[in-house]
Amino acid sequence: MASDGQSDQAILASWEINASPWVRAVRERQIASREQVTNQAIISTLTELAPSSLLDVGCGEGWLCRTMRAQGCDCLGIDAIESLVSAAREKGGHYRCLRYEDLSDADFSQRFDCAVCNFSLIGKGATELVFAAMAELLSHGGHLVVQTLHPHATTHTSSGWQDGSWAGFSEDFQQPAPWYFRTLNDWRALFQNHNFTIEQELAPSASDGSLPLSLILVGRLNSQ
């Protein structure tokens, strides 16, 4: 069982504190792995799918929504942290402050061709609730795209809570968020148990052939 310091609530508490430095880090392009590899990896994956409508789950300050909107995609971003949603709105676009546990009851007045979770599924129960909500949020044959830390880039061998770290970030960051590590097989099981067929498994890495910086899973929702 997770301790108080290792829970979905602890993740939200950390992001409440670190929202402002996160906005600066993203907009000032301070995160090397994202700038060099993972941002373009998720953009390329979504561009290949070419959805007309996109739900960005855990959108943060909205950079991915802005990018996809510039490509003609109707994009709605949601995030549980009000200050991140406010920062996203400042740049234009459509955003809602919404916690993952409220997804299944939210009225979006439409179904989406695609939902994307870009490094935004770091909890346990909250992640499972996102998957569970997809059957009501995605259109027939819609896709769920998840980018996360590649399990093979860690030393962990079984799923479980891990302590977080802001190593490599500025001193403005405080109180690191815990995160729930999942093995590759457990990620696959999440998709399969929620009626998705995994169509792609990608492992973006730097050009030097080092360990993958992320894992991208593309799932298609099967007919009910």
At residue 219, does pLDDT exceed 60?
A: yes
> Across the strands, what pairs with 57?
78
Could you report the per-residue pLDDT of 11-21, keeping only the tens digit for each? Answer: 999 999 999 99
CB atoms within 10 A of CB 160: 13
At residue 52, does pLDDT exceed 80?
A: yes
Could you report the per-residue pLDDT of 157-170, keeping only the tens digit for each? Answer: 999 999 999 999 99
Domain range summary for the chain, segments of one domain joined by +:
8-221
First vs last C-alpha separation in the chain: 33
Q: Taking the CA atoms of 35, 64, 179 and 183 in sequence, report the sign of the dihedral they define.
A: negative
CB atoms within 10 A of CB 182: 23
Distance from C-alpha of 86 to C-alpha of 139, rounded to nearest angstrom: 28
- Residue pair 80/86 in contact (Cβ under 8 Å)? The answer is no
- Residue pair 74/142 in contact (Cβ under 8 Å)? The answer is no
Strands 160-162 and 94-97 come out as: unpaired
Q: What is the DSSP letter of 222?
A: P
Could you report the per-residue pLDDT of 185-205, keeping only the tens digit for each? Answer: 999 999 999 999 999 999 999
Q: Taking the CA atoms of 129, 131, 132 and 134 in sequence, report the sign of the dihedral they define.
A: positive
Tokens representing 112 are 């989406």
What is the topology classification, in CATH, of domain 8-221?
Answer: Rossmann fold (3.40.50)
